[in-house]
Amino acid sequence: MTSTNPDSQARFWVKFWGVRGSIPAPGQGTVRYGGNTTCIEVCCGAQRIILDGGTGVRLLGDAQRGAHRTEMTFLMTHLHLDHVQGFPFFAPFLFPGNRFELFSARHNGAGLEDVLRLLLTQPAFPISLDMFAADLIFRELTIGQALDFGPLRIRTALLNHPGGVVGYRFEFEGLAYAHCSDWEHPYDGSLDPVLLDLIRGADLLSIDATYTEDEYHGRVGNSRRGWGHATHDAAVRHAEAAGVRRTLLFHHDPSRTDGELDAIAATSLLDRPGIGFVREGEVVELA
Give the pTM: 0.95
Residue-wise pLDDT for 174-220, tens only, equals 999 999 999 999 999 999 999 999 999 999 999 999 999 999 999 99
Q: In the predicted model, what is the mean pLDDT of residues 258-268?
A: 94
Residue-wise pLDDT for 39-51, tens only, equals 999 999 999 999 9
pLDDT for 1:
54
pLDDT of 115 over the 90 cut: yes
Confidence of residue 62 (pLDDT cuts 50, 70, 90): very high
pLDDT of 237 over the 90 cut: yes
Domain range list for the chain: 2-285
pLDDT of 173 over the 90 cut: yes
Using CA atoms, how far apart are residues 205 and 30, in angstroms rounded to an integer? 22
Q: In the predicted model, what is the mean pLDDT of residues 75-79?
A: 98
Residue-wise pLDDT for 245-257, tens only, equals 999 999 999 999 9
Strands (DSSP E) found in 7-151: 12-18, 39-44, 47-51, 71-75, 99-104, 135-140, 147-149
Confidence of residue 7 (pLDDT cuts 50, 70, 90): low
**What CA–CA distances, in Å, run from 55 to 16, 133, 186, 197, 240?**
12, 20, 29, 30, 31
Strand partners, 247: 205, 275
pLDDT of 110 over the 60 cut: yes
DSSP line for 201-242: T-SEEEEE--B-HHHHTTSSSS--TTSS--BHHHHHHHHHHT
Between the two ends of the chain, the Cα-to-Cα distance in Å is 9
Using CA atoms, how far apart are residues 37 and 34, in angstroms rounded to an integer? 9
Higher pLDDT, 221 or 258: 258
Superfamily of domain covering 2-285: Ribonuclease Z/Hydroxyacylglutathione hydrolase-like (3.60.15.10)
In this structure, the strands spanning 12-18 and 283-285 are antiparallel
pLDDT of 5 over the 70 cut: no
Using CA atoms, how far apart are residues 19 and 282, in angstroms rounded to an integer? 10
Collapsing DSSP states into helix, strand and coil, what is residue 31?
Answer: coil
> Helix H segments across 63-200?
112-119, 193-199
Phi-psi region of 146 (alpha: psi -120 to 50; beta: other; left: phi over 0): beta
